Amino acid sequence: MSGVTQRWVLDEIVDPYGAKVVVDRAPDGTVREARFDLAGLPRIDALLTGQQVAEVPSLVERLCGVCPAAHHLAGIRALESLAGGVDLPAAAVASRRLLHHASAIASHAVRAVGTDREGAVTLRRFAKAVMTAVGSPGHFPVTAVPGGVASRVGVEDRGRCLELLPAALSAAGRIAERTLPVPGPTDAFRGADVALVDDQGRPDLLGSRLRAVSADGEVLVAAAGTSGWDGLVAESAPGQPAPGPTSSPWDRGGAPTASGRSRNCASGP
């Protein structure tokens, strides 16, 4: 049918494994809410019940095909927390950080293909070199072990990363210059932004404290330790495959306020 143009409208995105995105529209057609409907998928906690504790890190790595490094590190840190916490060698901390940041670069580089294909390929090549250097050349990482890392960064791998670094920095700068001026979504997010931070409240993908900031910039939670997280985050749909995390922040006077939606600012364990 030459000369005929067809326009397809997707009212909902359907996943072959049972997940779909449900769009809730107002009478005037504007989108009020979009949410995942994962009714066809099992709860993760039920899958972990009864498993050997030492096997949990390798199991949670496969929760998400996009960010296995974050789950890998989170699983190992969970084991370490069961032992009351572990003081890691500085080199081990550095290797874990390299793994995490390189994984994030590799994931985000794909999004830049339409903007700067050469730059995206350069960034991904650099990220994979870094992940290989810290002992995780494959998709699922094996870098971290309880108490440290499985291996040290070799001299040759370090040299390879340094060789690729200038081109990666140039590509990242070029992509940022092209994409940052582009306006973002027009629909404002009215929930809380949640991120991991270090002891000083600075953003840290491997931080051990939780920080929450409201849409108007008010700090709701400054730096909550892991022992208090259960009191800060709850499920809006308890027991469901997509529980819908909500936060229970505090106002300036310290009194509980109404629960609100939240989103994480950066993937991290």
Annotated binding-site members for Ni(2+): 64, 67
Q: What is the largest CA-CA distance in the chain?
A: 69
The binding site consists of 64, 67
Q: What sign results for the dihedral spanned by CA atoms 255, 220, 243, 226?
A: negative
The binding site for Fe cation consists of 67
Tell me which residue has tokens 């081990």: 92
201 Rama sector, left if φ>0, alpha if ψ -120 to 50, beta otherwise: left
Measured distance CA(41)–CA(64) in Å, rounded: 13
The enclosing H or E element of 235 equals strand 233-235
* Residue 207 exposed, middle or buried by CB count within 10 Å (0-12, 13-18, 19+): buried
- Specify whether the CB–CB gap between 114 and 129 falls below 8 A: no
Residue 188 phi, psi (nearest 5): -75, 140
- Specify whether the CB–CB gap between 22 and 34 falls below 8 A: yes
Interaxial angle between packed helices 155-179 and 117-133, expressed in degrees from 0 to 180 and rounded to the nearest 10: 150
- Specify whether the CB–CB gap between 238 and 259 falls below 8 A: no
Report the candidate in 126, 140, 134 with the shortest Cα–Cα distance to residue 69: 140
Cα–Cα–Cα angle for 21, 263, 203, nearest 5°? 145
Measured distance CA(121)–CA(63) in Å, rounded: 26
